[in-house]
């Protein structure tokens, strides 16, 4: 069993629980109670899962959507700060096993940048996890330039986590099984990442770092098509899409435990850009066994499991 760092590991705290509850309305009460117990546990249950799967360190982030659905910026800032302070106290209890991603009030770019800096400098967090759009505003919006500038200066990766789209996709109407994890979240999150790339965020801030789960939300599969179809249709950045993806994007295994897409991602973005995650508690049982048993060179397995994340997040 290879030693691992896990990057998409969720928790709940009093400041964010009220935002999470409405996302469970279609989930059986017993399942909701089971998830809640796992999300609010920082002791035996979580650590036992980590031991079982060889996870030496978990980078914790709230279970979305968190304050990003809050309409009032001041309330979002208060709740985000409370959540981050809560997480910092839990990390301090087990600094050998836990690290943190900041939760940010993206309603206000300066407040988000300031909170990210506080979390990185004062709380020793590794970066931030952002749960998709914030009330319909995506991270390519030019009002977020200040935020990206600060994240790049701090060397703080931004993990872009799936969220529901602003409005239901008409093409999926009447096919509820497709709407969220099976397909819709990937469409939404991959499209969000492409907006960030095509709007020139990485041209303006070449040291900015973006992380996607699910082995890149299908982007690694499409590099050739992005390049071949972009310029004739108005691409006006100095590098082709694939180069920004290879230079500014990292991906994790979360919820994608199959050798073919893993090898595609390794070939597309490079062996130093693919990392492990278990998506606790939503998909925690499949990740460890997959990485431990899928045929790989052992040095590559160690890079995916631990070394790449340790380097990106500056973890021992």
Q: Which residues are catalytic?
A: 279
Cα dist from 162 to 159, 247, 276, whole Å: 10, 22, 17
Q: In what order do the strands lie in the sheet with 98-102?
A: 4-11, 55-62, 98-102, 127-130, 158-160, 210-212, 249-252, 274-275
């Amino acid at each position: 069993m290879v030693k691992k760092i896990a990057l998409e590991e969720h928790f709940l705290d009093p400041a964010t629980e009220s935002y999470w509850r409405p996302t469970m309305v279609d989930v059986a009460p017993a399942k909701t109670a089971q998830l809640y117990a796992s999300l609010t546990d920082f002791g035996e249950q979580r650590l036992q899962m980590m031991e079982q799967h060889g996870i030496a360190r978990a980078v914790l982030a709230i279970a979305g959507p968190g304050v990003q659905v809050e309409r009032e910026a001041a309330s979002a800032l208060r709740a985000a700060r409370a959540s981050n302070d809560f997480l910092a106290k839990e990390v301090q209890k087990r600094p050998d096993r836990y690290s943190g991603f900041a939760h940010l009030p993206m309603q206000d770019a300066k407040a988000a940048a300031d909170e990210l800096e506080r979390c990185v400098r004062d709380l020793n967090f590794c970066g931030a996890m952002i749960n998709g759009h914030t009330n319909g505003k995506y991270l390519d919006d030019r009002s977020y330039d200040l935020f990206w500038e600060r994240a790049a200066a701090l060397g703080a990766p931004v993990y872009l986590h799936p969220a529901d789209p602003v409005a239901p996709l008409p093409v999926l109407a009447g096919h509820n099984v497709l709407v969220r994890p099976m397909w819709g979240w990937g469409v939404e999150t991959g499209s969000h990442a492409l907006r960030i790339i095509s709007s020139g965020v990485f041209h303006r801030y070449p040291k900015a770092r973006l992380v996607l789960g699910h082995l890149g939300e299908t982007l690694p599969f499409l590099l050739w098509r992005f390049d071949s179809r972009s310029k004739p249709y108005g691409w006006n950045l100095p590098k082709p899409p694939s180069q920004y993806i290879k230079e500014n994007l990292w991906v994790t295994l979360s919820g994608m435990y199959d050798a073919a897409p893993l090898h595609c991602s390794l070939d597309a973005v490079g062996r130093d850009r693919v990392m492990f995650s278990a998506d606790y508690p939503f998909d925690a049982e499949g990740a460890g066994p997959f990485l431990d048993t899928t045929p790989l060179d052992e040095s590559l397995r160690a890079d995916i499991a631990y070394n790449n994340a340790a380097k990106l997040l500056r973890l021992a």
